[in-house]
Structure 1
Amino acid sequence: MNWIILIIAGLFETGFATCLGKAQETEGRESVLWWVGFAACLFISMFMMYRAISVGNNPIPIGTAYAVWTGIGAVGGVLAGIFIFNEPVAFWRMFFVFTLIASVVGLKVVSS
């Protein structure tokens, strides 16, 4: 269960990064709403990360949890950049995104 919580925390990390980018692109009330979304995603992400490392019978070690959390956020950030912010897709960029995904999966496999 802690792994599911950690994955959701990583998705909210992507959410707060995306909201931050959108807040910088907008003005006025719309920008304020993106800042509120940023704060909400940040709080939820941090709270869920805390839960994943400290609750239940089998908490995830902080080093592993942090690496997985940032990895999910990094991959999500790149994908949000491509699909929402029209950032370029290049072979080497995608190659390293896939190596990052493989590393996150590897950490899950070797974690007890």
Structure 2
Amino acid sequence: MTDQSGEPQRWLVLPDIAELLGIPITKVHQLLRDGELIAVRRNGVLRVPAELVAGDTVRKHLPGVLTLLRDAGYNDEEAIRWLYTEDETIPGTPATALSGDRAREVKRRAQALGF
């Protein structure tokens, strides 16, 4: 879910991510450094869109999409905006499509941004 500004409605702080994934907070920091997860500062605190974590794992296709967006020159703020901008042709947002059979289409579109 998104609000009108292309932002997720629900955010999680890093300790919550660690608890959900059942890993130490240092491993969450490693996921961020390795580009397998994305976080941005909101009100001075690093936060992760809740939707990008599915149960006890990071969404399967998220790391690949993040790599493609970064290769296209997107910073983390821009990547979040792209992931949470409504796209009626998907439908919904790229972030919501990552959890279904439209994940390949999201990856294809992210890849096209680099050209």
TM, length-normalised to structure 1:
0.26
More strand by share: 2
Q: Which has the higher contact order (CA 8 A, sep 6+)?
A: 1
Instruction: Find the structure with the greater CA-based Rg.
Output: 1
Larger helix percent: 1
**TM superposition score normalised by structure 2:** 0.26
